Structure 1
């Protein structure tokens, strides 16, 4: 952080936050971090907290320093971390801690109830996990709109925060500051420090395994979850869901039955069922499982059926999982990916995302999960494929069909009038 400019006149430099011995009893610093998506709302809250303070305010980047009732006050406005990669989030949390050294004693979580999704809640939980196991004890939910709503996600967050709540529509500065002071007092003047991400706090993943070969999908599921003798979808016409823990995170795997050659009604039924089983978060990735080898007509037909059913939007969430029982880095495998025209076209359709996994030793599973995480945090696409996405895709399909029919009718009318 840049060095502050010298303070002159009546302005006196504030005591550093790690100089507790210089402060009167029960008068430790208030070090607050604002966490939320909307920068405008965070700025508004930041300005509101400044209200009625002394004029000794210094603005440096995301930090505002001042006083409240004689107590040194530091407010850090964290950036929007909800669309960042996990690595970027970790760096931002480290920076927040540095900007209010030795660490914050209050976290204000800005939430807009009307669009606070389960995915948002999980991301927020991950962010707070980086502040240590006691982060929720130091946290309060700040509603950014008047209507609280009854969303399960908001209620769950409130429960995690011990019911601590302030609504910005109340516009009561003293009430807000009193609640902030209560948090500091209840935690006996302790503060939070950066804690390297606990594995068990990583966001859960919902993955759909698709492809023509049922046995191959089941083998892939067993490799990913580290389980054996999973129920195979090869003999089933319905989705089969498996769940387990992979490197400390919850992973749900859905084996989608082969759709190619099935009646359209059955295809749509299983497609919708697949997405519904991943509610409310949605599908984070569709994993197309293929053996290393030439693409068959059935493989191509399966991919085309999936794209027709879920629309071209599914391409943004698709990754190819090539399975082998030998070294994934073997020259034959590398040549296969680089020289096959069909494979190159397939990879191009899903952004080049692929991984080769040895089903027997499973060494590439971590690489696959990391690739899925990168997909989830890609700013150019949505973080998951939901039932809402599926519904919009079907509406778009119907509109296109109606437009095609209208075009055909116009052509017929023109032919008749000639």
Structure 2
């Protein structure tokens, strides 16, 4: 952004928002709105929508964006492009020739500091509710999907005054090792360069299934012990999360208690239909992040974990080889002693006579 603005110093007089209505989603509109906020709270006064699609029709997301821009728009397929220049000049005139400047602070009260962005990975077994959790966190009813549920997918949006990236990690349990490693590395790569600030393990409130346990073991084996420092558990419900039955279950189920202990007791029970709980969830995420230099799980962390596993496997193999060698030596010595024993020699003499 800074580089772009530097090419039109001292700053842009007009922002042209090129939009293809057939592909423009509500998520795109929110992303665009966030980017414009970097120019300050008056950015829309300097903006105009430019439609780049021949197809006509009503698109609510585009219409909302046009309203945000004060009704200003232009269709690229109009024959007279002088109209575009006239509309641009009108924007400049309305703003008395002033220009926009780039700021790293978004639209917030001056007393409130902008919070840093968050990169989160949602993990869990198939059917655990990762997509529902992503919709609840981002406040979106529709999310970008991929062609297959076995691929990572990244969602983004502004949540509680900060930019949040959510990566859905597909279920890993039962997959070939190559596929597990590929998707695991890809999910970390989608959070480059900052890395993953927190892994959110999504579980419905209920006893752990064999698939849950298999998924947990696969995640632990793949990302290794460092992942524990960045993980919290998100229990999802569709009713009151403070209901006594929920608390009684979490306190009474042995598997759940052991699981919570392994992740430092970091968890939230979220009613996915209650938007008021999202700030509580983000606060919990902040508490998970280690208060040390390594405040995120990066591709470098992942690589180091794999190298450490190889080293440990190599040490284990060396130990086994050493033990096997000792065993062979003992067996050989035992055989030699047996051949040299008096009983063995007398037996041989007896046979000769």
Residue aligning to 1:256: 169
1:214 offset after TM fit, Å?
4.4
Residue matched to 1:297: 210
Match of 1:407 among 307, 316, 319: 319
Structure 2 partner of 1:12: none
SS in 1 for 2:195: coil
Aligned partner of residue 304 in structure 2, secondary structure: helix
1:373 aligns with 2:283: no
Aligned partners of 1:233 and 1:258: how far apart in 2? 14
Task: Pick from 117, 122, 133 the counterpart of residue 204 of structure 1.
Answer: 117
Root mean square deviation, CA, Å: 1.9
Q: Deviations over 1:84-106 (max 9, x none)?
A: xxxxxxxxxxxxxxxxxxxxxxx
Q: What count of residue pairs does the alignment treat as equivalent? A: 223
CA–CA distance in 1 between the matches of 2:163 and 2:292?
A: 26
Does structure 2 conserve the Cα–Cα contact (< 8 Å) formed by 1:321 and 1:357? Answer: yes
CA distance in 1, matches of 2:257, 2:128: 25
Specify the SS of the correspondent of 1:282.
Answer: coil
Aligned equivalents of 2:146, 2:222: Cα separation in 1: 19
How far residue 229 of structure 1 moved from its aligned partner, in angstroms, is: 2.3
Cα distance change, pair 293–359 in 1 and its aligned pair in 2 (3 A):
same
CA distance in structure 2 between the aligned counterparts of 1:234 and 1:372, rounded to whole angstroms: 30
1:242 aligned partner: 155
Separation in 2 of the partners of 1:304 and 1:381? 27
Cα deviations by residue, 1:59-109 (Å, 9 ceiling, x for unpaired):
xxxxxxxxxxxxxxxxxxxxxxxxxxxxxxxxxxxxxxxxxxxxxxxxxxx
Partner of 2:180: 267
Per the normalisation by structure 1, the TM-score is 0.51
Residue aligned with 1:363, SS: helix
1:4-403 equivalent positions in 2, closer than 5 A: 196-198=111-113, 201-214=114-127, 216-231=129-144, 235-376=148-289, 378-380=290-292, 382-403=294-315
Equivalent residues of 1:223, 1:360 under 8 A apart: yes
Tell me, in whole angstroms, the C-alpha distance in 1 between the residues paired with 2:275 and 2:327.
62
**How far apart in 1 are the matches of 2:244 and 2:236?**
15
Shift of 1:384: 0.4
The separation in 2 between residues aligned to 1:414 and 1:295, in whole angstroms, is 44
Contact 2:231 2:288 in 1 (8 A): no
**Unmatched segments (≥5 aa) in structure 1:** 1-132, 134-193
Structure 1 residue 306 displacement after superposition: 0.6
Q: Are the counterparts in 1 of residues 238 and 271 from structure 2 also a CA contact under 8 Å?
A: yes
Alpha-carbon distance, 1:259 to partner: 0.1
Equivalent residue of 2:233, what SS?
strand
Structure with the larger helix share: 2
Bigger radius of gyration: 2
- Maintained 8 Å contact 1:317/1:384: yes
Q: TM-score, structure 2 length as denominator?
A: 0.61
CA distance in 2, matches of 1:232, 1:323: 21
2:328 aligns with 416
Structure 1 residue matching 2:276: 3-state secondary structure: coil
Cα-to-partner distance string for 1:288-341 (whole Å, 9 max, x where unaligned): 000000100110110110111110110000000000011000000000110010
Q: Tell me by how many angstroms 1:361 deviates.
A: 1.4
Task: Please give the alpha-carbon distance, in whole angstroms, between the structure 1 residues aligned to 2:147 and 2:276.
Answer: 25
Pick 1 or 2: higher relative contact order, CA cutoff 8 A, min separation 6.
2
